[in-house]
Amino acid sequence: VIIDAPRRFVENFRYLLGVNISAPGGSTRNGKEGGILQQTINPRSGQGVFSAFQGTSMASPHVAGVAALIKSSGVSDPKQVAEILYESSRSIDNDELNEFGAGQLDAAAAVKLAQRGRWPFHQFFRWLWQTAFFKLRLWFDAGAVPVVPKLLMIAGAYGLAVLFSSYVTNPWPGLFHGGLILGSGGLFLLRGLYIFDLPQWPLRLIGSSIPEWGTAAQANPVLNPITASVLVPLILLALFLSHPSLKWYAIGSCLGVASCLGVSALLDPECLWLGSSLLARGYLLVNAVLCVLLAYLALRGEVEQS
C-alpha cells in the first residue's frame, strides 16, 4: 500500500495497517500549486492537458519510477527490488502506528543500495523497527479498552459471588467463573487487539461483556438498554437452569451482568435513547438489582432441590 507523504492526509486513517512505504502524493487543499502535475485528458474537449492532482495515484508512479531505477542498476528480482525500496527509505519521526510503513521514498539512496548489492545489519534492523512490527501500539490500542472500569466490573462480580458462596458448590465450577467474567468485563483485552486487514467487529464482540453486545460490533461505547438489562440473564436461566453444567454459567452471568450494570451506572451511565441522565442511571441500577435477585432465586432453588 502506498500513501501520500504529507502526514495530515493520514491522520484520519490512524489505524490503517499494512502500509509498506510512503511517497509524495501532493496536496491540493490550498490550491493546485501543491498538487502533482499529471498529463491527462480533458473530459470536455477530449484534448490532452496537464493538471495538478493529489492522492495515491500520484504517489504510486514515484515508487514505480524508483523501482525502474533499481532494476536498471542490475537488481531484477521483484522481492529484492521491494526490499531495497523499504530499506533505503527515509525514516519518519513519530510514526508509532506505522502510518508511513518503512518510511518515505528516497530515490538516490535506493540506487546506491542497489548498486552496492548488500544490506548492512544496522540498516536492516532499522527497517524492521520502522515497519513497527516491534511496537506494541501497532498491535494493541489501549485507548480502546477502559481497563479500570473493566477490572472493577470483574472484581464486583466476584464480590457478589463471595456473598452467595454458601449456595455455590465448592470449588466453583469453571462455567460459573466464565459467567462472572463474560457477564461483567468480558475478554476486554481483545477489544484493543488489531490483526492486519481483518475486520475488527468480531474481536470487539468477543471482547465485550453481555450488556455491551447490543452496540459492540459498531464500536459504540454507549449501552443498549435491551442488552444492558436483566433480559439476557433471564433468557440464559430459562434455557440452562435445568442443565447440570450450563446452569452455573447462567447464574454466574446474572452476577456478572449485575456488576457491569452497577459500575456503569456509577461511572458511565450513558444508554441509547436514555442518554446519561438520572433516568439512565436509575434504569441500570434497577436492572442490576433484578439480576442479583434472579441469581439469588436460582441459587436458592438449587439448594432446595439438592
Average confidence (pLDDT) over 36-64: 83
Q: Please indicate whether residue 204 or residue 199 has the higher confidence score (pLDDT).
A: 204
pTM beyond 0.75, yes or no: no
Distance CA 213, CA 226 (A): 10
The 8-class DSSP code of residue 208 comes to: S
Residue-level length of the chain: 306
Q: Show Cβ contacts of residue 89 under 8 Å, excluding neighbours closer than 6 positions.
A: 21, 22, 101, 102, 103, 104, 105, 106, 109, 127, 130
Instruction: Report the 10 Å Cβ neighbour count for 304.
Output: 7
Place of cell 436460582: 298
254-288 pLDDT, tens digit per residue, is 999 999 999 999 998 899 998 888 999 999 999 99
Distance CA 157, CA 291 (A): 11
Cell of residue 298, nine digits: 436460582
Q: 36 pairs with which residues across the strands?
A: 53
Q: For residue 60, name the pLDDT band (cuts at 50, 70, 90).
A: confident
Asked whether the beta carbons of 19 and 3 are under 8 A apart, the reply is yes
Cell of residue 27, nine digits: 496536496
Q: Please indicate whether residue 236 or residue 29 has the higher confidence score (pLDDT).
A: 236
Architecture of 2-136 per CATH? Answer: 3-Layer(aba) Sandwich (3.40)
Asked whether the beta carbons of 218 and 289 are under 8 A apart, the reply is no
CA torsion sign, 158 to 163 to 164 to 169? positive
Ordered DSSP codes for 124-140: HHHHHHHTTTT-HHHHB
Q: Dihedral angle at the C-alpha atoms of 78, 79, 83, 84, nearest 10 degrees?
A: -30
User: Taking Cα atoms as reference points, which of 27, 21, 23 lies closest to residue 54?
Assistant: 27
Enumerate the CATH 3.40.50.200 domain ranges in the chain, comma separated: 2-136
92-129 pLDDT, tens digit per residue, is 877 766 677 788 899 998 888 888 755 566 666 666 66
Question: Residue 302 pLDDT more than 50?
Answer: yes
165-203 pLDDT, tens digit per residue, is 888 877 899 999 999 999 999 998 887 776 666 777 888
